[in-house]
Amino acid sequence: MLRLILSRVALGLLTLLAVSVLIFVATEILPGDVASAVLGQGATPETLAVFRHELGLDRPAYIRYLEWLFNALRGDFGVALTNKRDIVTSISPKFDNTMFLAGYAALIAVPLAVGLGIVAAINDGKWIDRAANIVSLAAISFPEFFIAYVLILFLAVRSHLFPVLSTVFPDMSLGHRLYVVALPAVTLTMLVTAHMLRMTRSSVLSIMSQPYIEMAFLKGLKRSRVVFVHALPNAAAPIITVIALNLAYLIVGVVVIETVFVYPGIGQFMVDGVTKRDLPVVQACGLVFAGAFVILNTIADVLAILVNPRLRKAR
Amino acid sequence: MNEWERLQQAALSGRATRREFLRGAAALGITTALTSGIMVKAGYADEPKKGGTLRLGMEGGSPSDSLDPRTYADSVMIAASLAVMNCLVEFDTAGNPTGELFESWDVKPGAAEWVFNVRQGIKFSNGKTLDAEDCIYSIQIHRGETKSPAKGILEQIKEIKALSPTQVGITLSSGNADFPVILGDYHIVVVPKDFTDWQKPIGTGAYTLESFEPGVRLVFKNRGDYWKPGRGNFDTIELRNIQDVAARTAALQSGEVDAVNRLDARTVNLLMKDPNLNVVRTKGTGNRFCFVTRVTDKPYDNKDLRTALKYGIDREKIIESVYNGYAVPGNDHNLDALNPFYNTEMPQRKYDPDKAAFYFKKSGLGNVAMELQTSEGAWGSAVDCASLYQQALKKAGINLDVKKVSADGYWDNVWLKVPFCAVYWGRRMSADQAFTQVFGEASDWNDTNWKVPEFQKLIKDARVETDQAKRKELYWKAQEMIADDGGFICFAITDYLDGYSKKVMGNQPHARYDLNDNRIAEKGWFA
């Protein structure tokens, strides 16, 4: 069991290393470098050369990579090439914001999706099952910015129930934060619910056709008891995996939502880093994102083992 | 009845606006004590009021922003720096250079030797009094080993020295009658000598920086007793970076911000109907959108082909369908109608497929292959403009291949590298700057590579000419030459569209930038 977890963690670290190499190579392949991206149309060969030398871009790529890697291991991601700000201090409030929004959306979405999924499974084929399916599928089928703009138009511009700008600042109270970020959280909820709901429903249903469930029914148990006590624990593993994937999406895939709601998250920071070819920023963001993915997947794996009695015991 | 009486009557009867009245009174030399009584009676006593928090929502910032003036490139940092700092030279509404921290100046004939008088009694936010050394330092940080975008325009400085604590002498390597315009460049803001801590800038502006989260928000507090009368009226400025135009518009509509820049031309008509908002339009001073051919490459070395390409673009249609009418047609050179040297008698070139076909035939090139490279990296709608161009040329029997290339690295790999591509140019405050940077033989950005000696001599002569009538003659000729012979197909110059809540005053259009030259924080007030 412990060995299993340790090997998962080791694999995760290896993945991170591979990701760091990939990101570095990708940013090297991109046309242009930070000097020409920052100076833009105003670049002359002379100012370019000065800037490149200032940034150390005139040294070989592998040296820059190794240097960065060793510093990163010490927790030092360096300074942004563009505005010379320390990357860790720039990223951490943005990462906190991203986690806040993701956590907020997850707190609404996960209970909603799993709950509705179970309800749908219990009432397989009835109107509530169909309604849950149709509504969640419709929500996921619209592009995210469309949902966002519709919510803004009706709930913010027309009725003034919520603010248009969801920007959070360090001096805001938790209650105020929850209010300001409500619209993006609802939008994200609508985006991730369908996937989790349908996975919950179908894995519960597939367990429901197993012989031991039939046995439980034959014992005379109520349907709800069969679902919660007999079916759900066995159906949990795929549900947990899907939840983990969706949580990861909430952390790394919300740059459009950040832009539309003017939310200061890490996604916009990374996009700006890519357009400016700010390699240390992209590396750091990429590593944070990869880390989020690896950690969530590892947790999902471990949880799936823990909830399933058959996996818990090593063979 | 004398002029003053006539002006008073015009004011009281409502025939003259507040502005016209003030301008007239100033021209007559009437004192404020006399005018203010009339102004109250005439009902336009909108003397700037103090107080309030101005909340700005602006595009043109990013998480990599910095207050170091050597990095400014877009609106948010320009507006932010002008809240905290002052320039040496300011521009009035019409775009003429006026004194700011350089109060006035003298020039010797030949326009190479300049003496600038430093405004006296101005204090920085750290208590230091402004002197000539501060001004010199603030210029020098853009010279020498630096990546400052202002480096190029300051290369003409041969010597700069303090003649006294209140006078700066600048000698140029060759004369330039527009040198004060150069010093008005937004990068050149004044800080105390040897200042380097750009996280906490010290300036002579109306406000001090409270907090700065790059790409998110800047907050400024009024530091009191601003040296410009009637300006610096707000208690607090909150400048928020809102890149998404729909979010910016929605925030203005819902009253979460008081002013925004860069409204969407496609939806601005609807916004104008909102009774709580003012839309301020600055006509035809924005970016100049162009397709440029390099005249040293085949087949564009053929003047008849270039003429055909200029007649073959449907400017009106592009302006209607891409810019929703919020642009003026370009006339194949890069001055706009607000420039004092704009050639008003040159006929506007119009779409004429027959003429295009005629010149194309005359070029004798037959069915020559031409490829126009375009990209969203050039500007948002460059690809649409290129397709409309392609269709318009087809009507004249000219085939143009349009190639859409990656937005990434467009300025690096395409512009100045391929013979026919899309490019936009911003406004330059003087005709000399406009021509020297875009068509000068020594410019690194001469994307048409059009270096006719006669033209080069013309702009050199105009640069040192201090007789305005003679300069006008030279610059008018220069515009004709570019439009007639150059490889520059300038089809549209866009409008600036600002949105304000009704309570924000002091929001008039300005010849340089939107949001009243990005100085709304300094110039505006609440009704």
Look at residue B10 in the predicted model and tell me its pLDDT. 65
Distances (CA, A) of B158 to A115, B118, B172, B175, B461: 76, 20, 5, 11, 19
Amino acid at B515: L
Given CB atoms, is A45 within the 8 Å cutoff of chain B? Answer: yes
A38, A50, A153: residue with CB nearest B145: A50
**Residue B164: beta bridge partners?**
B167
Model confidence pTM above 0.90:
no
SS3 A84: coil
Rounded-to-integer distance, Cα B516 and Cα B324, Å: 23
Residue A300, pLDDT score: 87
Per-residue model confidence (pLDDT) at position B313: 97
B301: confidence class by pLDDT, cuts 50, 70, 90 = very high
Four-CA torsion B235, B241, B246, B249, nearest 10 degrees = 10
Higher pLDDT, B445 or B383: B383
> How confident is the model at residue A24, as a pLDDT?
80
Residue of A nearest to B257 (CA): A165
A contacts of B213 (beta carbons < 8 Å)? 93, 169, 264
**What pLDDT, on a 0 to 100 scale, did the predictor assign at position B439?**
95
Q: What is the DSSP string of A201-232?
A: HHHHHHHHTSHHHHHHHHTT--HHHIIIIIIH
Whether the per-residue pLDDT at B350 is higher than 80: the answer is yes
Q: What is the model's pLDDT at position A313?
A: 62
Q: Is the pLDDT score of B24 beyond 90?
A: no
In eight-state DSSP terms, residue B191 is: -
Torsional sign, CA A307, A308, A313, A314: negative
Beta-carbon pairs below 8 A across chains A and B: 124
Pair B392, B311: CB distance under 8 Å: no
pLDDT of the residue at A45:
74
The answer to whether the Cβ–Cβ distance between A31 and B408 falls below 8 Å is yes
Q: Please judge whether A31 and B409 are an interchain contact, meaning their C-beta atoms are less than 8 angstroms apart.
A: yes
Per-residue pLDDT for A41 more than 80?
Answer: no
Strand pairing category for B496-501 and B259-260: antiparallel
Residue B42: which residues within 8 A CB-CB, separation 6 or more? Answer: B11, B12, B14, B18, B21
Tens of pLDDT, residue by residue over B222-244, are 999 899 999 999 999 999 999 98
At residue B37, the pLDDT reads 65
Asked if A165 and B240 come within 8 Å (Cβ–Cβ), the reply is yes
Task: Summarize the confidence of residues B321-326 as an average pLDDT.
Answer: 94
- Calculate ∠ Cα A232-A194-A207, nearest 5°: 25
Predicted confidence at residue B352, as pLDDT, reads 96
CA distances from A208 to A110, A220, B114 (A): 22, 15, 91
What are B28-81's pLDDT values in tens digits?
A: 777 666 676 666 565 555 679 999 999 999 999 988 899 999 999 899 999 999
Q: Do A156 and B445 touch (CB under 8 A)?
A: no
**pLDDT score, position B495:** 95
Q: β-pairing, B496-501 with B504-505?
A: unpaired
Selecting from A80, A164, A278 the residue whose C-beta is nearest the C-beta of B250 gives A164
For chain B, which residues lie within 8 Å of any Cβ of chain A, measuring from their own Cβ? 57, 62-66, 68, 71, 73, 145-149, 151-152, 213-217, 240-244, 246-247, 250-251, 253-254, 256-257, 406, 408-409, 411-413, 415, 444-445
Q: Give me the residue from B63, B256, B415 closest to A163, CB to CB.
A: B256
Chain B contact present for A138, CB below 8 A: no
Candidates A36, A160, A262; nearest CB to B411:
A36
Mutate to test the interface with A, among B59, B70, B78, B147 (most CBs of A within 10 A): B147
Terminal CA-to-CA distance of chain A, rounded, Å?
11
pLDDT for the residue B42: 59
Does the CA dihedral B84-B90-B91-B93 come out positive or negative? positive
Most confident of A134-138, B25-29, B185-189: B185-189
A-chain residues near B257 (CB < 8 A): 165
Query: A157 and B253: CB-CB below 8 Å?
Result: yes
Q: What is the pLDDT of residues A218-248, one digit of tens each?
A: 999 988 888 888 888 888 888 999 999 999 9
Q: Does A51 touch chain B (CB under 8 A)?
A: yes
* Distance in Å, alpha carbon of A292 to nearest chain B alpha carbon: 22
Alpha-carbon gap: B20 to the closest alpha carbon of chain A (Å): 38
Helix (H, G, I), strand (E, B) or coil at B195: coil
Is the model's pLDDT at A82 over the cut of 80? Answer: no
Point out the least confidently predicted range of A22-36, A155-169, B42-56.
A22-36
Contact, B300 vs B306, CB < 8 A? yes
Residue of chain B whose alpha carbon sits nearest to that of A157? B254
Predicted confidence (pLDDT) at residue B14 exceeds the cutoff of 80:
no
pLDDT over 70, % of chain B: 94
Question: Residue B403's pLDDT is what?
Answer: 95
E strands, A172-300, are: none
Mean pLDDT of A3-21: 83
**Residues of chain B contacting A164 with CB distance shorter than 8 Å:** 247, 250-251, 253-254, 256
User: B15: number of CA atoms within 13 Å, CB side?
Assistant: 7
Give per-residue pLDDT as tens, B89-112.
999 998 999 999 999 999 999 999
A115 pLDDT band, cuts 50/70/90, is: very high
Nearest CB to B64; choose among A80, A169, A259:
A80
A261 touches chain B (CB under 8 A): yes
Query: B284, B494 in Cβ contact below 8 A?
Result: yes
